[in-house]
Amino acid sequence: MTIVEKPANDSEHSLITRICNGESWLFADLVKPYERRVYVTALALLRNEADAQDVAQEAILKAFANLRQFRGESRFSTWLIQITVNEARMRQRKQHADLFEPIAESQDEEGAYTPRDFADWREIPSEALERSEVRALLVKALASLAQKYREVFLLRDVEHMSIEETADVLGISIASVKTRLLRARLMLRDFLAPALADGWFSRAPFGKGSKPW
């Protein structure tokens, strides 16, 4: 699959060239803007701080070891996150354990997710998102998603990758990205609505295209 996106910017391209030519100490400057994103990605997928730290370190080391393979056709950050996702998947396969039970999917005969009907659902006001208990609930809701939905939601709605980038990172079709993202958003809505029903909703009803996060 070919990504249609902006190449690495000039400053990053210059850094990468210099690193590949022997100035290895510059790698710290290259990855510094993305260290937090790498860790957050690993944490969202693994749901364990120690594992996330290990995977983040491994991903950065692997990026350094394989930097010559980066062709500059995509953003460096996209390439780095792809390595992180792959490392997290490898860690999960080795552990063979899930820390959370995925949200059960209501499916019709075609396998489509059937959302619950919440007549009083509203968007979460921005001020509510500043409350620690709301943020904790959002983290719990994300952790409860099945892996394939959590990955797509993380890359699209947290990392703000394009649909094409997300498809390339996960090795799935663009259609699958769209389907999984829609289901992820619906399942998160279903998870959050009952818990946030007591007085936190004051704006327009949740509608097509809007997001409660």
Question: DSSP 3-state helix, strand, coil percentages of the chain (rounded to 5)?
Answer: 60, 0, 35
List, in sequence order, every residue forming a beta bridge with 122; answer none if it has no partner.
205
| 102-213 has CATH 1.10.10.10 classification | yes
What is the tens place of the pLDDT at every residue in 5-53?
A: 444 566 888 999 999 999 999 999 999 999 999 998 998 888 888 999 9
Q: Are 117 and 192 in contact (CB under 8 A)?
A: no
Q: Where are the domains of the chain?
A: 10-95, 102-213
CATH class of 10-95: mainly alpha
pLDDT tens digits, the chain, 213 residues: what are they? 333 344 456 688 899 999 999 999 999 999 999 999 999 899 888 888 899 999 999 999 999 999 999 987 788 999 999 999 999 999 988 875 544 444 444 444 335 555 554 444 444 444 444 556 666 777 788 888 888 999 999 999 888 899 999 999 999 999 999 999 999 988 888 887 776 665 444 333 334 444 434
